[in-house]
Copies of this chain bind each other. A is one copy, B any other.
Amino acid sequence: MGYGEFVQGKAVQLGREIVRMTTAAGSGHPSSALSIIHAVVVLMYDLMRWDPADPWHAGSDRLVLSEGHAVPAIYAAYADLGGAVGRTRAEARPLSTADLTRLREVDSPLDGHPNPAEGFPFFDAATGSLGQGLSVAAGLAIGARLGGLDRRIYVILGDGESREGQVWEAMDMIAERGLTHVVAIFNCNGQGQADYVSPQQSPESIAAKAEAFGWQSTLIDGHDPQALKGALTRIGDRPSAIVAKTQKGWGCQILQDKSNHGKPVPAEKMTEALSQLDATLARLGASSAAGAGPSITMPTPVQPPRSGAIKPIAFEKAMGEAGLAAALAKGKLATRRAYGAALLALGRADPRIVALDGDVRNSTFSEMLGEACPDRFVECKIAEQNMVSVAVGLSAAGYIPFVSTFAKFVSRAYDQIEMAQITRANVKITGSHSGVSLAADGPSQMSLHDVAYFRSAGEADDGRGRPVCVSFHPSDAVAAYHCTRLMAEHPGMCYMRTHRPDVPLLYKLDERFEVGGSHVLAEGKSLAVVSAGYMVHVCKEAVERLRADGVACTLIDAYSFPLKIEPIFRAAAACGGRILCVEDNYAGGLAGAVAEAAAQQGGVRVDAMTCRRIPKSAKTTDDIMTYVGLSSNQIAERIRRILH
């Protein structure tokens, strides 16, 4: 039996499963799945070097399905090959064709879109929010290069999807770094959800764009097995973009109308649909008994990725090695600078640590690691969405990626961050220049929603008994250093918020910090002031001024979410159960967390001072604090009013 006949036979065999499973699920995208079926067969049954029994294998080729809604094609092939499913190796079992009818059920590993965390380890990342897969592939490829591994990373993405700018951010990065082991397959079926794709996303346009971005592009018929195999095995000195003209609903007329996006075949038309697929096969002169076909090449054995704890380094030693001994001696240091020093120390201590930055490494201070270990520094240029998804790929490759940019620009990638959360990727994100203390540069560079955003998911569980996201908001260099260490140690997503200004040290150098922790910095009986980050210093000024007037407040630095509330309530109880939360961001952050706990428990009253107006530029931090109502005078005044 010829190669073409094998692939066509498999395409129809799997096509029948695609139609059946989506009808059984009552939802899904059979027409998209049929458009990629030949590429899936050529890759999964022939070209990819992988082990269906061990999809976790660190040396295997990978397939990233960026066009996540087409996933039934993969599920059908995977079941046919008996690929292993399960959240862990311990619970792994082979997927069977019978399992396919449980697509999208609440206890099935076959989620509606690729979702490795629910037990489908063939995938490295959750996809389905479009345009992110090529970036994940870039991260996997950078990881492979770091580890000296010969892995090919195949990506299937849609023509409509390639309207997403992130696709072109990834195209830039892959070309710039010469990551020729990434192969992109643009699935040009010509149809989006609501309409045909734009002429801007025609196969010819995509091919021309790919060339302009430094790729080698090859236009082929995406249903021609030999053409696919030929194009997919050609590796040149530029990354390869296969622009495959395909048909949505290939082989099954019922699914070919443009109104059929995301619609399964109605149960009463199932027989007709399956007959159409069979007739397609007959027309191609192939047989439905697909036969043995090529055998899958197993991946080369590789060292398992390193695991285990990161050896901690003492703060003072790390600061010295970062050239910050003099600054430390002066007792004043920006949290962002201490972050850089911590990243350097961690990176030197553990080869899994990789830093990514978006052209602001001299502001975030990720450059400290970049200069010491240039091979583990990924300059992503001004393209934050790509940067976060690259980090997801690096995490899947066993690395611990630290993403740094201004906190404001982190928000460009919030959807990518949520996809990383769904993936349960081990990604660390540090947003610098957060809050209003940045002053002069104005609101386009400040982050004001970030505390609320990251806390929101932090209160939910990731299904492994851990928060979806842990956040840190250090107030001084000691805290920033230890919070960075905690980020590296915590297995899961973390976010840290650093500030621009230099601030005095508040902590002794060996102070202890923990996830969800807080520290009492001053004790009083009048009121407990709870703050974080830069505002701790402003609150400290207010508290000290009031103390001179005989009003003694407790001051608490609540530097991490999800916040352990009991220590704070105990401290508040000593102050008559009165709390004032102070933050340099919009509502719903720290004050929200404290208030939610207080309102549930009762007996504690919580006032809040947050940023209550859109900031603007101001020459000094004091000016902008006064403008948004958060100066130490205004805080002291508010405390006096509360106590009256």
Q: Which residues of A line the B interface, CB within 8 A?
A: 25-28, 68, 104-106, 108, 110-113, 115, 117-118, 126-131, 160-161, 163-169, 172, 175-176, 192-195, 197-201, 205, 208-209, 211-214, 357, 359-363, 367, 379, 381-383, 385-386, 408-409, 411-412, 414-415, 418-419, 421-422, 440-445, 448-449, 452-453, 455-463, 468, 585-589, 591-592, 594-596, 598-600, 602, 604-608, 610-614, 616-619, 623-624, 626-627
Q: In the bound complex, what is the Cα–Cα distance between A130 and B128 (angstroms)?
A: 26
Whether A165 pairs with B599 at a CB distance below 8 angstroms is no
> Shortest distance in angstroms between A227's beta carbon and chain B's nearest beta carbon?
23
Given contacts A108-B617, A160-B359, A596-B599, 6 further A-B contacts (CB under 8 A): A112-B440, A117-B614, A128-B445, A165-B167, A422-B614, A460-B614
Whether B613 pairs with A460 at a CB distance below 8 angstroms is yes
A362-B193, A600-B595 known; A588-B128 Cβ under 8 A: no
Task: List residues of chain B with CB within 8 A of the CB of A129.
Answer: 408-409, 412, 444-445
Whether B27 pairs with A381 at a CB distance below 8 angstroms is no
Task: List residues of chain B with CB within 8 A of the CB of A457.
Answer: 448-449, 586
Contact among B195, B359, B607 with A195 in the assembled complex (CB-CB below 8 Å): B359
Whether A468 pairs with B600 at a CB distance below 8 angstroms is no
Whether B381 pairs with A611 at a CB distance below 8 angstroms is no
Whether A612 pairs with B165 at a CB distance below 8 angstroms is no
> Shortest distance in angstroms between A94's beta carbon and chain B's nearest beta carbon?
21
Contact among B104, B197, B592, B616 with A588 in the assembled complex (CB-CB below 8 Å): B592
Name the residue in A212, A458, A594 with the highest tally of chain B Cβ atoms < 10 Å from its Cβ: A212
The 4 nearest A-B residue pairs measured at CB:
A165-B165, A128-B444, A595-B599, A599-B606
Task: List residues of chain B with CB within 8 A of the CB of A624.
Answer: 106
Task: List residues of chain B with CB within 8 A of the CB of A26.
Answer: 440, 619
Task: List residues of chain B with CB within 8 A of the CB of A591.
Answer: 596
Nearest B residue (CB) for A585: B456
Q: In the bound complex, what is the Cα–Cα distance between A602 and B110 (angstroms)?
A: 47
Whether A165 pairs with B604 at a CB distance below 8 angstroms is no
Whether A163 pairs with B382 at a CB distance below 8 angstroms is yes
Nearest B residue (CB) for A102: B619
Q: In the bound complex, what is the Cα–Cα distance between A614 and B409 (angstroms)?
A: 25
A168-B165, A617-B106 known; A452-B359 Cβ under 8 A: no
Whether A104 pairs with B442 at a CB distance below 8 angstroms is yes
Whether B618 pairs with A105 at a CB distance below 8 angstroms is yes
> Shortest distance in angstroms between A171's beta carbon and chain B's nearest beta carbon?
9
> Shortest distance in angstroms between A154's beta carbon and chain B's nearest beta carbon?
20
> Shortest distance in angstroms between A113's beta carbon and chain B's nearest beta carbon?
4
Q: In the bound complex, what is the Cα–Cα distance between A442 and B28 (angstroms)?
A: 11
Task: List residues of chain B with CB within 8 A of the CB of A602.
Answer: 605
Contact among B408, B419, B618 with A415 in the assembled complex (CB-CB below 8 Å): B408
Whether B411 pairs with A415 at a CB distance below 8 angstroms is yes
Task: List residues of chain B with CB within 8 A of the CB of A104.
Answer: 440, 442, 617-619
Whether B605 pairs with A596 at a CB distance below 8 angstroms is no
Whether A444 pairs with B127 at a CB distance below 8 angstroms is yes
> Shortest distance in angstroms between A577's beta carbon and chain B's nearest beta carbon?
9
Q: In the bound complex, what is the Cα–Cα distance between A461 and B629 (angstroms)?
A: 12
Whether A198 pairs with B212 at a CB distance below 8 angstroms is no
Contact among B205, B359, B442 with A192 in the assembled complex (CB-CB below 8 Å): B359
Q: In the bound complex, what is the Cα–Cα distance between A610 and B461 (angstroms)?
A: 12
Q: In the bound complex, what is the Cα–Cα distance between A25 and B442 (angstroms)?
A: 13
Whether B444 pairs with A453 at a CB distance below 8 angstroms is no
A419-B444, A460-B586, A463-B614 known; A164-B160 Cβ under 8 A: no
> Shortest distance in angstroms between A319's beta carbon and chain B's nearest beta carbon?
23
> Shortest distance in angstroms between A423's beta carbon and chain B's nearest beta carbon?
10
Task: List residues of chain B with CB within 8 A of the CB of A27.
Answer: 440-441
Whether B619 pairs with A194 at a CB distance below 8 angstroms is no
Task: List residues of chain B with CB within 8 A of the CB of A618.
Answer: 104-106
Task: List residues of chain B with CB within 8 A of the CB of A192.
Answer: 359, 381-382
> Shortest distance in angstroms between A156's beta carbon and chain B's nearest beta carbon?
16
Nearest B residue (CB) for A595: B599
Task: List residues of chain B with CB within 8 A of the CB of A586.
Answer: 456-457, 459-460, 468
Task: List residues of chain B with CB within 8 A of the CB of A168.
Answer: 165, 168
Task: List residues of chain B with CB within 8 A of the CB of A165.
Answer: 131, 164-169, 383, 385-386
Contact among B209, B414, B599 with A212 in the assembled complex (CB-CB below 8 Å): B209
> Shortest distance in angstroms between A127's beta carbon and chain B's nearest beta carbon?
7
Nearest B residue (CB) for A577: B602
Nearest B residue (CB) for A627: B106
> Shortest distance in angstroms between A355's beta carbon and chain B's nearest beta carbon?
12
Q: In the bound complex, what is the Cα–Cα distance between A199 and B176 (angstroms)?
A: 7
Task: List residues of chain B with CB within 8 A of the CB of A440.
Answer: 25-28, 104, 112
A382-B161, A443-B115 known; A607-B600 Cβ under 8 A: yes
